[in-house]
Amino acid sequence: MKLQTIFVVDDSDTNLTMAADALEQQYKVITIPSAAKMFSLLGKITPSLILLDVEMPGMDGFEALKRLKANHDYADIPVIFLTGLNDNSSEAKGIELGAVDFISKPFSRTVLLNRLKTHLNLDGLIRERTEQLRQRTEQLFLLHNNIVFTLADLVESRDANTGGHIERTTAYLKILADAMLQHGVYIEKIREVAEGALDEGMFIVEARMAPGNIVEIIVDGDGPVGIDNCVALSKVVDGAFDREVEDFELTVSSAGVGQPLKVLRQYKKLIGHPVEVLLANGTKIVAELRAVGDEGITLAWEEQVAVEGKKRKEKVERVEKYPLSEVKWTKEWLDFK
């Protein structure tokens, strides 16, 4: 099996030796004493990942990262900073420039190996899914363009006065096709693309195309969904679309706490938990969600009822089933008392 190549860039011979000793059994390690020499070597070898020191004479790590991200050939190489700096501002600057992680010096072999494995696996997964999704979305854009030119041909054939104006007609119809895209004609295909990129346990709550070619994807999961999950999904979906063909703005976010549930899988993860339900008739109920299905939801709650022969009311459990057609919205109930 061919080993992945790792660049270790540091002006300290001690750090270069330590990193090489830690990694050489699992990776092909190339140690480099300066950022300038790294760029000279990049013309010959493309590494799978770069470990880059922040504080170096001449070109420091921040400047080197800026140049890497500005070059189309190197921009996708994951970069992890090796640093003795412990201030938050330096870390924030590195992340803003495009670093995927920070490792503090002196580093341990275990930490170094685990961080590399995590980011190499993630980068490999993103590249693999991006290629798969790019191929799948080609059909979407071929369909988009075929509609434009087919409609233009029809107009030309039906009206002799439009002969020779196919390009102008195409431009008009592209506006029409874009409007169709914005209003959800192709949203199922976009949703399919996003679903193919989801991490295990995650699911799509909503995918929509807003005016201005703004793609909005909201995700949830059977477990917690963090910002890392959203960033990874955004990268894959963004890479699956050809901006030369259709420019767009993409936002990926997790379903907010306290927001109305939109899909049955969100309901199912809350079975056994309290929810707040607003019925179509305006009645609001706080109850335990007992069951959910295509036909409706089952709620259970306690209420005080008068019992014949007793002065005090007693608590009894009430269980009711409501068709989804009668439910205006359902939210997870958060009791801050």
pLDDT at 153 over 60: no
Residue partners of 309: CB distance under 8 A and separation at least 6 = none
- Torsion, Cα 273 279 283 286, to 10 degrees, reads 0
- The pLDDT value recorded for residue 163 is 47
pLDDT confidence tier of residue 84, bands split at 50, 70 and 90: confident
Listed range (35-39, 87-91, 176-180, 311-315) with the worst mean pLDDT: 176-180
- Torsion, Cα 323 325 326 327, to 10 degrees, reads 90
| Average pLDDT of the residues in 156-165 | 49
Most confident of the following: 9-18, 121-130, 232-241: 9-18
Measured between alpha carbons, how far is residue 107 from residues 95, 113, 148 in Å? 19, 10, 57
Q: Which domains does the chain have, with CATH numbers?
A: 5-107 (3.40.50.2300), 125-254 (no CATH), 264-332 (2.30.30.100)
- The pLDDT value recorded for residue 7 is 93
- The pLDDT value recorded for residue 76 is 86
Q: Which long-range contacts (CB under 8 A, 24 or more apart) does 287-296 make?
A: 289/330, 290/319, 292/264, 292/267, 292/268, 293/264, 294/264, 294/324, 295/323, 295/324, 296/321, 296/322, 296/323, 296/324, 296/326, 296/327
Model confidence pTM above 0.85: no
Measured between alpha carbons, how far is residue 125 from residues 55, 157, 199 in Å? 31, 48, 10
- The pLDDT value recorded for residue 126 is 56
Measured between alpha carbons, how far is residue 103 from residues 84, 116, 147, 182 in Å? 9, 10, 51, 43
pLDDT confidence tier of residue 162, bands split at 50, 70 and 90: very low
pLDDT at 178 over 70: no
Listed range (228-232, 263-267, 277-281) with the worst mean pLDDT: 228-232
